[in-house]
Amino acid sequence: VEQMRREGYEMIITPPQILTTTHPVTGEKLEPWEEVVIDVDAEYSGTVVNALTGARKGILVEMMDDTHGKTRMKFEVPSRGLLGFGPEIATATRGTAVMHHCYLEDREYAGMIGTGTERGKLVSNELGKATLFALESLSARGTLFVAPGEMVYPGMVIGENNKSGDLEVNPVRAKATSNMRTQAKDEKLYLPPPKKMSVEELIGYMSEDEVIEVTPQSVRLRKLELDAGVRERAARTKKKQMDALKANAKGGKK
């Protein structure tokens, strides 16, 4: 993708999907599983185990320590559980983790990946250039992906919400002007630098209802459906489906 971008191509990338199959005898849904081997500093071994065996539905098969302060772990993980895992674990282990993975076999579908309480996104509802005044107030609500002066449009993801659920925001709002003088300290606004992600990181980060716009000049994350009303109705439907899945899972355990 990066090579095509440098050559001047423009494209839209949709969320990656796995290829499922059906068991010929039982008729149950099957998905690909992979064997994952990770070498990491012993102090970060717990971080790796928690990351793969929790919401990503991985299984720890083997764990060995050596005399050089390294730990080798072997996991069996659904292919879906590895989406976006590389950049995440590299950051969590400060670049000390080395990961290798390969296809293992098709197994029974592992169910929902994730906890269902992941953070939402800050979504622009206006067209124009982002202003320092608006972004400074939005920085308290989450992590921003854009800087002042960048063009935004309705449906574009401009940041990550601190809470679950998407939030419609106005990043182009300007400060109301008046003929009243104010102190100089009131004019000083501090804004942390925006978080920038590569195409690979965005592919693992994006949600099912989002796409990535790749052009030679920029890489943007946006909602597949730009209309806020349609997105809201789809979110309510998805919430009902998630609640039904959780209820069925609890009923199965009983």
248 by Cβ neighbours in 10 Å (0-12 / 13-18 / 19+) ranks as: exposed
Q: What is the pLDDT of residues 58-72, one digit of tens each?
A: 999 999 988 888 999
DSSP string, 27-73: --EEEEEEEEEEEEEGGGHHHHHHHHHSTT--EEEEEEE-TTSEEEE
Pairing verdict, β 128-129 and 59-65: unpaired
Greater pLDDT, 245 or 228: 228
Query: Which strands sit side by side in the sheet containing 167-169, from one edge to the other?
Result: 142-144, 157-164, 119-124, 167-169
What local confidence, expressed as pLDDT, does residue 23 receive?
87
What local confidence, expressed as pLDDT, does residue 64 receive?
92
Closest CA to 123 of 90, 161, 175: 161
Q: What is the pLDDT of residues 148-199, one digit of tens each?
A: 999 999 999 999 998 888 889 999 998 877 666 655 544 577 888 999 888 8
With pLDDT > 70 as the criterion, what percentage of the chain qualifies? 91
Q: What is the pLDDT of residues 71-92, one digit of tens each?
A: 999 999 999 888 888 888 888 8
Q: How many angstroms separate the CA atoms of 97 and 92, rounded?
A: 9
Q: What is the pLDDT of residues 42-56, one digit of tens each?
A: 999 999 999 898 888
Pairing verdict, β 98-108 and 29-41: antiparallel
Q: How many angstroms separate the CA atoms of 35 and 163, rounded?
A: 33
Look up residue 228 and give its two tokens. 């806020």
List of residues 6+ apart from 222 with CB closer than 8 A: 153, 155, 156, 157, 210, 211, 212, 213
DSSP-derived 3-state class of residue 237: helix
Q: What is the pLDDT of residues 118-140, one digit of tens each?
A: 678 999 999 999 999 899 989 98
